Amino acid sequence: MFAPGAGRFLGPAASVAVVLLLVLAGGVLPGATLVVAGLFLVAAGLSAFFAIFFRDPERAAGPGIVSAADGRVRAVERSGDVWRISVFMNVSNVHVNRFPIDGRVESIETHGVGHRPAYRPDAAHNVQRSYRLVTSLGSVEVVQMTGILARRLVSFVAVGSVARKADRLGMIVLGSRVDVILPASRVVPVVRAGQSVRAGTSSIARELP
């Protein structure tokens, strides 16, 4: 299964690869076989890359509050009355982001400026999209953050959307980072920096009794 929008990237690359393969097989341009073969390998490589990048496997929701992104936990930080759990994605991760908890989308806001490397502390000022959710824990926020290469934020939901934990929320094209901001009075983190997590299945926090 592929994420929405995959066709605009995968379709053209695969089509070019098929055409070049037919040209090679038919011997239409015998004097340019090496050039055509090289172009075919490039087109086939791009097709494979896009197929991997836009993959969107089905996931069963994990226990507790789950990660919104595949990747590696960059930081677990408390700031005032909230916990911020930040996950850095690389190009090999699944890039579809998911709801960390059941909730209703109260607002979606895009703000920030610049495209600094997402692993740096000052990336907190990058162009980003914040989803504020109304949940059983109160207000929970999911933040998609751009990076030096990842500059396209995609939303699969709108204000007013109601979703279950692990439902698809959106994606970031070509990596970057996703933060989940949780009320510190209601939850405690269960992950640490450096830990690998999967969107929708890996627990990142549990509700306090």
Q: How far is 144 from 141, CA to CA, in rounded Å?
A: 10
pLDDT attached to residue 187:
98
* pLDDT (average), residues 14-38: 68
**What pLDDT sits at residue 178?**
95
Residues 15-44: what's their mean pLDDT?
A: 69
Q: What is the mean pLDDT of residues 49-57?
A: 70
Q: Tens digit of pLDDT for each residue in 100-131? A: 999 999 999 998 877 776 667 767 778 899 99
Alpha-carbon separation of residue 122 from 68, 126, 127, 187 (angstroms): 21, 8, 12, 26
Respond yes or no: is residue 161 known to be catalytic. Answer: no
Dihedrals phi, psi of 49, to nearest 5 degrees? -60, -50
Provide the pLDDT for residue 16. Answer: 67
The confidence score (pLDDT) of residue 5 equals 63
pLDDT value at residue 38:
73
Residue 21 phi, psi (nearest 5): -65, -40
Residue 55 is given by DSSP the state: B
Which range (68-72, 125-129, 164-168, 193-197) has the least confidence?
Answer: 125-129
Eight-state DSSP code of residue 123: G
Q: Measure Cα distances from 5 to 99, 133, 171 in Å.
A: 19, 24, 10
Query: For position 96, what pLDDT does the model report?
Result: 92
- CATH architecture label of 65-207: Distorted Sandwich (2.70)
Q: What is the pTM of this model?
A: 0.80
pLDDT for the residue 6: 56
202 pLDDT higher than 90? yes
Average pLDDT over residues 135-155: 87
Q: What is the pLDDT, as a whole number, of residue 59?
A: 92
Q: Which of 176, 185, 196, 202 is catalytic?
A: 176
Tell me what pLDDT residue 113 has: 79
